[in-house]
Amino acid sequence: MGEFRQRSSVPSGLKLSLLVLSAFVILGSFCLADYPPRTITTLDNRVYKNAVITSVSENEISFTYDDGVMTIPRSNLPDEIINELGMNDAENHRIAEQAKADAAEKQQVEEKAKADFDRQQRQAEADAAERQRMAEQVEAERQSQIKEQQDEANLERADKQEQAAQDARDKEKQDSDAMWVIISAIAIPLVIALMVWKSNPNPAVIAMLQRNQIRSELHDLNQTIHDIKKPNDWN
């Protein structure tokens, strides 16, 4: 009974540690059971009999054999042992992870390239729209200038036409006034001569009046013709 109590006095933490250690030992035994004793022949033709593998990593294996303990690098192991021990799994995993990383980097590069292309495309479209707007603005200004010039030309033409029409009216009035002057110059002396003839029908007087009338009419006619021609010469 006292012995039982003494055993029970072992700390609980130590018991837990012993249980964990026992579990690792048992697990290691099961793992080593997957690698029964064998003969390992390396690539440099060295032979290790009754080799029991104790550890396997990506780059090497360790084992016990008849003459002691040995560690062989991966580069000196035949392919069948490498494949059997799964030493390629780590390499394959590394390659797979590297492939994923490369794929992710490639995707990032492609996404960045696409984003850059989209940005450049939007910028190009914006630049094209701005150039189109500027071209339309320049064309609108040019059309406005052309219209202003046409309006000025039309106004100037209208002014010239109005001036020409006014000049024609002025000339027509001048011609009409000159015609009335001629008619008056001819009619008034005739009326005077007729009145004198009726009051004194002397042939000599009549002849004298007629001569004077003719000379006066010729003088007035020449003067009127001169006055009419003079403005035309100035033009």
Q: What is the pLDDT of residues 47-65, one digit of tens each?
A: 999 999 999 888 899 999 9
The boundaries of the domain holding residue 55 are 2-86
Report yes or no: 78 and 43 within 8 Å, Cβ to Cβ: yes
Q: What is the pLDDT of residues 82-131, one digit of tens each?
A: 888 887 766 666 776 787 888 889 899 999 999 999 999 999 999 999 99
Question: Is 12 inside any structural domain?
Answer: yes
Question: Is 189 inside any structural domain?
Answer: yes
pLDDT interval class at 179 (50, 70, 90) = confident
Question: Is 119 inside any structural domain?
Answer: no
Question: Is 144 inside any structural domain?
Answer: no
pTM over 0.85: no
More confident residue, 182 or 64: 64
Q: What is the pLDDT of residues 118-174, one digit of tens each?
A: 999 999 999 999 999 999 999 999 999 999 999 999 989 999 999 999 999 988 888
Question: Is 80 inside any structural domain?
Answer: yes
Residue whose structure tokens are 């964990």: 20
**Buried b vs exposed e over 161-192: b needs ≥16 C-beta within 10 Å?**
eeeeeeeeeeeeeeeeeeeebbeebeeebeee
The number of distinct structural domains making up the chain is: 2
Question: Is 165 inside any structural domain?
Answer: no
Residues 6+ apart with CB under 8 A from 181: 220, 224
CATH number of the domain where residue 40 is located: 2.30.30.100
Question: Is 164 inside any structural domain?
Answer: no
Question: Is 109 inside any structural domain?
Answer: no
Q: What single string gives the DSSP state of each residue in the chain? A: -HHHHHHHTS-HHHHHHHHHHHHHHHHHHHHHHTS--EEEE-TT--EEEEEEEEEE-SSEEEEEETTEEEEEEGGGS-HHHHHHTTHHHHHHHHHHHHHHHHHHHHHHHHHHHHHHHHHHHHHHHHHHHHHHHHHHHHHHHHHHHHHHHHHHHHHHHHHHHHHHHHHHHHHHHHHHHHHHHHHHHHHHHHHHHHHHHHH---HHHHHHHHHHHHHHHHHHHHHHHHHHHHHHHH-
Specify the amino acid at residue 81: I
Residue 222 CA to chain centroid, in angstroms?
Answer: 84
